[in-house]
Amino acid sequence: MSAELASRHAEAFVLAASLAPRWFDDIALALPRPEMFYVPRHQAMYRAIAELHTTSQGIDATTIEAALRRRDGIGDAPSQWTRERIERFVAATPSEVLNYASHAEEVRAQWVRREVIRSAREAQIAAQDQAASAHDALDRAQSDLAHIAESATRSTPPDLRAVARAAVDLISTNRVRRHTGGLVGMPSGIHALDRVTYGWIAPRYVIIGARTSIGKTSLLFSHVANATAAGYGAVVYSWEESPETLFIRLAAIRARVNGQRAIVGDLDTTDQGKLDGAMGQLAIEPLEIIDATGWNALDVRAHARSLKRRMPSLKLVGIDYVQKIRAIDTRLDERGRVRETSNALFHLAHDSELVVMCLAQLNRQAQGRADKRPEQSDLKEAGNLEEDADSIVLIHRPEYDGIEFWDNDPSKMCEGQARLLLTKHRGGQTAAHGITVAFHKERAEFADLDFDRTPPQTHYGGHDGF
């Protein structure tokens, strides 16, 4: 580097402050890795001090020397700490170190600069290698920068009084919304579901799971159509269909006409008029539909964050669907790919205050059950998705498999119906047995049953799934 991107004075200052337990915890939040120090002997000393704090040992010249010997050796590279130098360092450390936080921030900032330059140089070398894949070079560069960004994110301890005030304000706001007939979160368009969730509250990472042709995309689009109508911004990323086709399907749900006929231009005059009106309305609402072919989760995350800056109302991100998203690290197997993708989408939701609604394919295990009822374990690569998801909705449509009755009860016809199994709902009430809704096959639309259109309740019936 032509100019040294480091502050040796700040590093020495931070090391001095880190000797004191009352300051070390704050410093460790800003500088979680010894490699963030530029000077090798500073890295070694910080590593030794961190070990002593972690193991609750006393800190003096003797314990520091022992820790350095275990880690790096004494007097040798990289530590270059002799006993005499350690004693001088401890003796020279003042009892009060002023402004240590700003010095720690300076050390962290300089590390970020060095890492970005390193990443850019490695990306340039990879991009110039004509024998390598350009996509692989891009993926590695994106992954490296994302790792730097995550490592550089500083988690400062919250002011509990400020948290308490915000919590009181949130409860008051939500109470007013509920008692005036409104929802706390974003509407799904299905009152029976909203009575359980009170609307989807950001941040939330939601998995919608179903087998092929059961209606995953239709349920997602029901949410999108109702969210944008209520003034929430939405974006849908698809690896399956073109934006034009998806726009028509979305408009058909809004217009309540047959989506397949709309796509092929086979609507009668009345329904075509409804479709035209819905398309015109959607065109002016806060909505984007993205052809994400070839994208990985980091591409989605970068685009969604940029879009949120341009569209402040953005609240819903739709993913169609998780198993189609391209791997970030192309060396990973299927399980590893789903794990890294799911983790990235979870962080997109929670870092950007969004509801990320992700469609997921189920495996064939449900087909071996008599009632064809799906379970969470049916999610492909279920362990990663189950662990990351804040909420999981599974779609059960027995009629699709030729079953006539719910729960094998002849008094409960299931024709034209589905159940939404809310098997996980972190911080709220679940409905694992199922929320029964109507499914209009001709429109591929989920809706309330005719007798179940009452608005969401204004009381909360309990908690499950924390």
Residue type, 335: R
Give domain status of residue 323, yes or no.
yes
Q: How far lies 146's CA from each of 96, 194, 352, in Å?
A: 37, 35, 15
**Predicted confidence pLDDT, tens digits, the chain (466 residues):** 456 788 888 888 888 888 887 777 778 777 878 888 898 888 888 888 888 877 777 788 888 888 888 765 554 444 578 788 888 887 776 655 556 777 888 888 888 899 899 999 998 998 888 887 787 787 778 777 877 876 666 555 556 666 677 677 667 666 655 554 567 889 888 988 988 888 899 999 999 999 888 889 999 999 999 999 989 999 999 988 889 999 999 999 899 999 889 999 999 999 999 999 999 999 999 999 999 988 888 788 888 888 888 899 999 999 988 888 887 777 777 788 888 888 889 989 998 899 999 999 888 777 778 888 898 888 866 557 888 999 999 999 999 888 888 888 888 898 999 999 999 999 888 888 899 999 988 888 898 987 444 444 433 333 333 2
Tokens of 270: 């009345």
Residue 362 domain-assigned (yes or no): yes
Whether residues 218 and 144 fall in one domain: no
Residue 343 structure tokens: 């983790």
Q: Look at residue 163 and tell me if it is in a domain.
A: no
In this structure, what CATH number is given to the domain that contains residue 35? 1.10.860.10
Domain limits at 24?
8-152
In a domain, 169, yes or no: no
Give yes or no for a contact between 253 and 337, defined as CB atoms under 8 angstroms apart.
no
Cα–Cα distances in Å, from 423 out to 67, 270, 366, 377, 434? 49, 40, 15, 11, 8
What is the reported pTM? 0.67
* 242 found inside a domain: yes
Q: Do the domain assignments include residue 157?
A: no
Q: Is residue 260 part of a domain?
A: yes
Is 403 found in the same domain as 312?
yes
CATH number at residue 417: 3.40.50.300
Kindly state whether residues 359 and 301 are assigned to the same domain. Answer: yes
